Amino acid sequence: MSHIYVAGSINQDITARVQRRPRPGETIAGESVSFGLGGKGANQAVAAARSGASVELIGAVGGDRFGEELLADLDGEHGLSTAHVRRVPDSSTGVALITVDSDSENAIVVVPGANATLAPEHIADVEMSDGAVALSQFEVPQPTIRAFFEQAQSRGVTTVLNPAPADDVRDDLLELVDYLVVNETEALFYSDGDANSGLSTAGLEATAADLRAHDEQVVVVTLGRAGVFASTPSETIELDAYAVDPVDTTGAGDAFVGAFATAIGDGLALQDALDTGTAAGALATTEAGATPSLPTRAAIQNIRQDS
pLDDT at 171: 84
97: three-class secondary structure by DSSP: strand
Q: Which of 100-109, 113-122, 150-159, 253-262 has the lowest mean pLDDT?
A: 100-109
* Catalytic choice (64, 254, 272, 275): 254
Measure the CA–CA gap between 244 and 226, rounded to whole angstroms.
13
Q: Residue 256: how many CA atoms within 13 Å on its side-chain side?
A: 27
Q: At residue 1, does pLDDT exceed 90?
A: no
Question: Which ranges of the chain does DSSP label H, i.e. alpha helix?
Answer: 40-50, 65-75, 142-154, 171-174, 184-190, 201-211, 252-265, 270-284, 297-306
Question: For the chain, how big is the Rg over CA atoms in Å?
Answer: 18
What single letter denotes the amino acid at residue 76? G
35: three-class secondary structure by DSSP: strand
pLDDT at 197: 61
Residue range 62-84: mean pLDDT, rounded: 92
254 is catalytic: yes
pLDDT at 17: 92
pLDDT at 195: 57
Class of residue 154 by CB neighbours under 10 A (exposed 0-12, middle 13-18, buried 19+): exposed
Class of residue 246 by CB neighbours under 10 A (exposed 0-12, middle 13-18, buried 19+): middle
Residue 147's pLDDT band, with cuts at 50, 70 and 90, is very high
Residue 152's pLDDT band, with cuts at 50, 70 and 90, is very high
pLDDT at 210: 86
Vertex 215: Cα angle to 231 and 270 (nearest 5): 35
pLDDT at 306: 85
The rounded percent of the chain whose pLDDT value lies above 90 is 74
Question: What is each CA distance from 137 to 13, 23, 44, 188, 269, in whole angstroms?
Answer: 17, 30, 9, 17, 23
Residue 242's pLDDT band, with cuts at 50, 70 and 90, is very high
pLDDT at 262: 98
Confirm if 45 and 8 have CB atoms less than 8 A apart.
yes
Confirm if 298 and 264 have CB atoms less than 8 A apart.
no
Measure the CA–CA gap between 193 and 171, rounded to whole angstroms.
18
DSSP state, residue 20: S
Selected residue with higher pLDDT from 185 and 148:
148
Residue range 286-307: mean pLDDT, rounded: 89
The rounded percent of the chain whose pLDDT value lies above 70 is 98
pLDDT at 255: 96
Strand order in the sheet with 158-162: 81-88, 54-62, 3-7, 133-137, 158-162, 179-183, 218-222, 228-231, 236-239
Selected residue with higher pLDDT from 181 and 109:
181
CB atoms closer than 10 angstroms to residue 258: 34
Q: At residue 203, does pLDDT exceed 90?
A: no
Whole-structure pTM value: 0.92
Residue range 196-216: mean pLDDT, rounded: 83
Measure the CA–CA gap between 173 and 235, rounded to whole angstroms.
24
pLDDT winner (highest mean) among 15-19, 201-205, 254-258 = 254-258
Q: Where are the domains of the chain?
A: 3-24+31-306
Residue range 270-283: mean pLDDT, rounded: 97
Confirm if 256 and 184 have CB atoms less than 8 A apart.
no
Residue 278's pLDDT band, with cuts at 50, 70 and 90, is very high
Residue range 124-148: mean pLDDT, rounded: 95
CB atoms closer than 10 angstroms to residue 167: 12
pLDDT in tens, 99-128: 989 987 878 888 999 999 999 999 999 999
pLDDT at 9: 97
Superfamily in which the 3-24+31-306 domain is placed by CATH: Ribokinase (3.40.1190.20)
Q: At residue 196, does pLDDT exceed 70?
A: no
pLDDT at 199: 72
Indicate the average pLDDT of the chain: 92
Closest to 84 in 3D by CA, of 131, 128, 132, 141? 128
Dihedral sign of CA atoms 23, 27, 33, 39 in order: positive
Q: At residue 198, does pLDDT exceed 70?
A: no
pLDDT at 194: 61
